Amino acid sequence: MVERKQSGADVPGRARVVVVGGGYAGVVAALRIAGKAARRRVPVSVALVNPSPLFVERIRLHELAAGRAPRRIELARLLGARGVELVVGRARRIDAAAREVEVEVADEEAAATGAAAAAGANGAAAAANATARTRRLGYDALVYAPGSAAAQEIVPGGGEHALSVSDAASARALRERLRAARPGAKVAVVGGGLTAIEAAAEIAEAFPALRVALATRGRVGEGLSERGRAYVARALRELGVTTLERVRATRVDAQGLRLAPEHGGAPGDDVADRLAASGRLDADIVVLATGFRPAALAGGSGLATVAGGRLAVDRWLRAPAHPEIWGAGDAAAALDGDGAPLRMGCATALPQAAYAADSVVAALAGDAPPPPFRFAFAVQCMSLGRRRGLIQRVDPSDRPIERVLTGRAGAWVKELVCRYTIAVLRFEQLRPHRRGAPAQAPRPQRALGADGGERLPHGAAT
């Protein structure tokens, strides 16, 4: 069944905005567009498309896997304060020529069942059993922010035999496996970046009876300073985590990992000797944290992509051939000062979303675009369980410098950062706007491709 429908707020004379993705970038963009349009008296209807009715604090999923109860944040309540319609469904295709998004949604009864079960382990199954129909959402402006997923396919067998902390369902599945594991069971975490380190530390602290190992093809914390790496190594030792560096996972199977020495590995050490003898790391549970892949929606819709499938955008975060489409977050290839795509993460997604939202409203109001998007890094944050943390200072290009904050102080700052991300959403939700002013008609749609610009407040995009 195919429906051609915009949001319930679709009214003649209102510009139609669709936001694809209900993560950090998508929610900020939707709330900010609705709020700023109201303040500027630009009549718009905004719809946000997301597969789940709940907002997921992705930067806390390693905590969920270790048994910490998550906050329940309902997207409908979060967005409803700004009049944004939530469309619970999966965006299957963007028809850029027709300016429509094809969304696979469940019928109302099945959707209600899926929403009720979404917080539990059976949420995905309930959603899968729902009767699907296709809904077409027309748009005048679109914000592309569907995010990313775990790249389990990087290691053969990963999809069948490994778990992850990339989404809520996977984190819950890992939590149940950890709770059911016998004392002395072996857990292997693969990866050497922030996600892998946080997962290994959180699991080791929450489940001290388990034997946790962290295996990476480089050094643990490769992007940290010497002081930062030294602190991480000490913290992992104190938590009982065994680290295997310069080894490559070649396959995941039911018994654990097959490993091979990575080029440049140090021959003669314990790890190399063990690999030479067996080429295996036995494990009852394998967690892959080797990287993320962007949502495939852009490439599958015929939009230009770069960097492994991220939407190609210019310095104004617009798709070059489709100026009515803005990209933000993990699935868009926003560029740093050197012309390389910014790394994925909440820290880069939130400023992109704010910039894209301001740009959308400016375009719909007939203003010229703002100055190009700019971003400067300041810190990298990492939790190492509940009592340890690392705050690593970096230069504007994300290169580490020898200034760190560690221990309980580091854990406290990391917790503040996590709370700040939700505070940003609440601010956009509750930010006051003028009411009672007469609405003006939106400017002609050609404004979406116009040159020149409304200037953002200084520092708004940094």
pLDDT 10s per residue in the chain (462 long)? Answer: 555 554 444 556 899 999 999 999 999 999 999 999 999 999 999 999 999 999 999 999 999 999 998 889 999 999 998 999 999 999 999 999 999 999 999 765 445 545 544 444 444 444 444 567 999 999 999 999 999 999 888 999 999 999 999 999 999 999 999 999 999 999 999 999 999 999 999 999 999 999 999 999 999 999 999 999 999 999 999 999 999 999 999 999 999 999 998 865 544 456 545 654 578 999 999 999 998 999 999 999 999 999 899 999 999 999 999 999 999 999 999 998 888 899 999 999 999 999 999 999 999 999 988 999 999 999 999 999 999 999 999 999 999 999 999 999 999 999 999 999 999 999 999 886 544 333 344 443 343 443 333 332 322 332
Using alpha carbons, select from 18, 27, 168, 176 the residue that is nearest to residue 103.
18
For 65, the token pair is: 């896997």
Listed in sequence order, the residues at least 6 apart from 327 whose beta carbon sits closer than 8 Å to its beta carbon are: 143, 144, 145, 298, 310, 311, 313, 317, 318, 319, 333, 334, 352, 356
Beta bridge partners of 142: 18, 325
The separation between CA 176 and the C-alpha centre of its own chain, rounded to angstroms, equals: 23
> What is the predicted pLDDT for the residue at 269?
54
Round to whole Å and give the CA distance between 124 and 145: 21
pLDDT for position 277: 56
HEC string for the chain: CEEECCCCCCCCCCEEEEEECCCHHHHHHHHHHHHHHHHCCCCEEEEEEECCCEECCHHHHHHHHCCCCCCCEEHHHHHHCCCCEEEEEEEEEEECCCCEEEEEEECHHHHHHHHHHCCCCCHHHHHHCCCEEEEEEECCEEEECCCEEECHHHCCCHHHHCECCCCHHHHHHHHHHHHHCCCCCEEEEECCCHHHHHHHHHHHHHCCCCEEEEECCCCCCCCCCHHHHHHHHHHHHHCCCEEECCEEEEEEECCEEEEEECCCCCCCCHHHHHHHHCCEEECCEEEECCCEEECCHHHHCCCCEECCCEECCCCCCEECCEEEEEECCCCECCECCCCCECCCCHHHHHHHHHHHHHHHHHHHCCCCCCCCCCCCCCEEEEECCCCCEEEEEECCCCCEEEEEEEHHHHHHHHHHHHHHHHHHHHHHHHCCCCCCCCCCCCCCHHHHHCCCCCCCCCCCCC
Are 434 and 352 spatial neighbours (Cβ–Cβ below 8 Å)? Answer: no
| Residue 99 region by backbone torsions, left for phi larger than 0, else alpha for psi between -120 and 50, else beta | left
Give the Cα separation of 460 and 462 in Å (integer): 6
Helices 407-430 + 346-364 axis angle, to 10: 20
Cα–Cα dist 460/194, whole Å: 27
Beta carbons of 103 and 139 less than 8 angstroms apart: no
Q: Which residues pair with 327 in a beta bridge?
A: 144
Cα–Cα distance, 228 to 405 (Å, whole number): 9
Burial 223-234 (b: 16+ CB within 10 A, else e): bbbebbbebbbe
Give the global pTM. Answer: 0.86
With contact defined as beta carbons under 8 Å apart, do 89 and 114 qualify? no
> In the prediction, which pLDDT does 262 show?
81
